[in-house]
Chains A and B, each alone.
Chain A
């Protein structure tokens, strides 16, 4: 079946540090890939997406590249801010599944001054 594996958290970084959150997936065909973010007390918000191999999704300084050869979609940001503290979820939507999402377990990011 389809699955998503994320690096375990929490990830604790100082402000302006470089961020990488690893995400790998298993799916039939070529799924669409997403990163969602959940700030404390709020619902899930779409951060970025990529729908085919070698696509790069980007938003708010975050980037992720769809790597078919390594079945990965790692999230990166060059310089994190305290306001980026949240839980980040990698997710996929497989072909023929009416876009239902399969999520990873989430990675909590804590950014300190």
Chain B
């Protein structure tokens, strides 16, 4: 069990650029979640996958955001035409299918928009 891995740890980009983050979950976990955390707040749910299927998206996920999990393993989160308000920590978590099982989080990708 190597834990949830996220890359990169930090991303600095100019407003209007596209960015992509990667998450590698714990290998036997079927569910993968993305959250966004802004300074002084708790994480907010963005979307989740069960295997390769994206089953729910939050209203926070505007049409500039897209997430994929093509083979049911790693996932990518892309933000197009970044805006200042996108600056945040993006967290990935994974869990097994069994109800009530806790989610295991990665260390996050911190996005800073110049």
Closest CB in chain B relative to A84 CB, distance in Å? 19
Total A-B residue contacts, Cβ distance less than 8 Å: 59
Task: Give the CA-CA distance A89 to B42 in the complex, in Å.
Answer: 7
* Residues of the B chain whose Cβ atoms lie less than 8 Å from the Cβ of A104: 42
Query: In the complex, are the beta carbons of A99 and B103 less than 8 A apart?
Result: yes
Please, which residues of chain A bring their CB within 8 A of the CB of B50? 98
The closest CB in chain A to the CB of B105 belongs to: A44
A58 interface hit (Cβ, 8 Å): no
Contact in complex: A100, B107 (CB < 8 Å): no
Contact between B42 and A106, CB atoms less than 8 A apart: yes
Contact B100 A101 (CB under 8 A): no
Q: Is B41 an interface residue (CB 8 A)?
A: yes
Question: Does the CB pair A99–B99 fall under 8 Å?
Answer: yes
Asked, given contacts A100-B45, A100-B56, A105-B42, whether A32 binds B108 with beta carbons under 8 Å apart, the answer is no
Complex interface bits, B39-50 against A, C-beta within 8 A gives 1, otherwise 0: 011111100101
Docked CA distance A11–B16 (Å): 39
A10-27 interface bits toward B, Cβ cutoff 8 Å, 1 = contact, 0 = none: 000000000000000000
Whether the pair A106, B41 counts as a contact (CB closer than 8 A) is: yes
Pairs A–B under 8 Å by Cβ, sample size 9: A43-B106, A44-B93, A44-B105, A49-B102, A89-B42, A99-B31, A99-B100, A103-B42, A103-B43
Residues in chain B within 8 A of chain A (CB atoms): 4, 31, 33, 35, 40-45, 48, 50, 55-56, 91, 93, 95, 99-108
